[in-house]
Amino acid sequence: MKPPYSLSPVVLGLLTKVSEKIGQVSAAHLEQPRAELRKQNRIRTIQASLGIEGNTLNLAQVTAILENKRVVAPLKDIHEVQNAIAVYDHLDRLSADRLPSFLQAHAALMKGLLASAGKLRSGDVGIAKGSQVTHLAPPADRVKGLLKDLFTYIKMDKDPILIRSCVFHYELEFIHPFEDGNGRMGRLWQTVMLTKQYPVFAFLPVESIIKKRQNAYYRALSLSDKSGNATAFIEFMLGAIDEALEELLQTQRKSLSAKERMELFKKEQLDTTFTRAHYLKKFKEISSPTASRDLQQAVENGLLIKTGDKRTTKYRFK
């Protein structure tokens, strides 16, 4: 069965925005961010996803563990980070639509933390907030069948992967197939699914946006539970993805040198004339004086030909 959800106007609007930003990422050749930014974003991803689950380590401590430096912190928290680093470093080895691969990832993520790591729960579970049970998961004897149906859905359904990954994330939280580690597995597997089609998601810290909006994250899960469909959660997750992509675009562009900006712009304007306004439209984060310096430097280096003066100035690449 296909999990219940609808492509609401909000979902369709966000899907369009996210798709446009993925196109911008591709056009700017940002699918594989610079090595330093990849490292920073991976650290943010791990710290945020584990932090949502109560891990106390900060970004500096996660960085130290990644660099094999000594950290004074609870051993359990250190172990969680070490496991997550090992799993995220090998995302390309995971098969997004295969249940055995999913179970192997849980085994690695929860190694040494959970006796039943990599195994489906054998007992019934409920999620409590204080003294109130907020979610009662399906009985244990239904978990394997529900997971098989869910993996069939993500493999066979024709909706965009952006939608299917959000649905999978929600349904995994609903099924709650493991004794522990369900939240981090939901966030991990959405990343695995998206990375197969869009490589930028391997280093996009969507989890840091979720952590920043943690109350809204749980509220979206609760709304979907109460309505009996994943629509509210899809809306939340697409919004988080959109914010993460916008952050990447702004960070990457701000870090580009004048030479790198010009190289990117050249690929779009190779055979046409353009003005400073066109250049600023591409790189909205830089100032007008910076744009003028970029263009003048390119003229002096023989990369651009300049015609006209002041308001009539135009450029074209040699």
CATH code of the domain covering residue 312: 1.10.10.10
Q: Does residue 286 share a domain with residue 231?
A: no
Same domain, 288 and 170: no
Please indicate, yes or no, if residue 302 is contained in any of the structural domains. yes
Q: Which segment of 246-255, 259-268, 309-318 scores lowest on mean pLDDT?
A: 246-255
In this structure, how many other beta carbons lie within 10 angstroms of the beta carbon of residue 183?
20
Look at residue 3 and tell me if it is in a domain.
no
Answer yes or no: do 19 and 54 share one domain: yes
Lowest mean pLDDT across 43-57, 144-158, 207-221, 279-293: 279-293
Same-domain pairing of 199 and 165: yes
* CA-only gyration radius of the chain, Å: 23
pLDDT on residue 1: 78
Q: Of 208, 223, 254, which one is at a domain's C-terminal end?
A: 254
| Same domain assignment for residues 164 and 287 | no
Domain identity same for 250 and 263: no
Tell which of 213, 232, 254 closes a domain: 254
The residue segments making up the domain with residue 313 are 257-317
Residue 312 binned pLDDT confidence (cut-offs 50, 70, 90): very high
User: Of 191, 173, 174, which Cα lies nearest the Cα of 182?
Assistant: 173
Q: Please report whether residue 292 resides in a domain.
A: yes
CA-to-CA distance for 18 and 12, rounded, in angstroms?
10
- For the four alpha carbons of 43, 250, 214 and 154, in that order, the dihedral sign comes to negative
**At 290, is the pLDDT very low, low, confident or very high (cuts 50, 70, 90)?**
very high
Q: Say if residue 170 is in the same domain as residue 293.
A: no
Are 186 and 299 members of one domain?
no
279 by Cβ neighbours in 10 Å (0-12 / 13-18 / 19+) ranks as: buried
Residue 130 has a pLDDT of 63
Q: What is the rounded CA–CA span in Å between residue 219 and residue 170?
A: 12
Helix ranges (DSSP H) in 256-282: 258-269, 276-282
286 pLDDT more than 80: yes
- Token look-up 């490292």 returns 39
Counting the structural domains of the chain, the total is 2
- Percent above pLDDT 90 for the chain: 76
Final residue before a domain boundary, out of 254, 274, 305: 254
- Asked whether residue 74 falls in the same domain as residue 93, the answer is yes
Name the pLDDT band for 129 (thresholds 50, 70, 90). low
Q: Give percent of the chain with pLDDT exceeding 70.
A: 94
**Residues, the chain:** 318
Q: What is the mean pLDDT of the chain?
A: 91
* pTM assigned to the model: 0.79
pLDDT, tens digit, 9 for 90 and up, residues 184-221: 999 999 999 999 999 999 989 999 999 999 999 999 99
Quick one: average pLDDT of 45-68?
Answer: 95
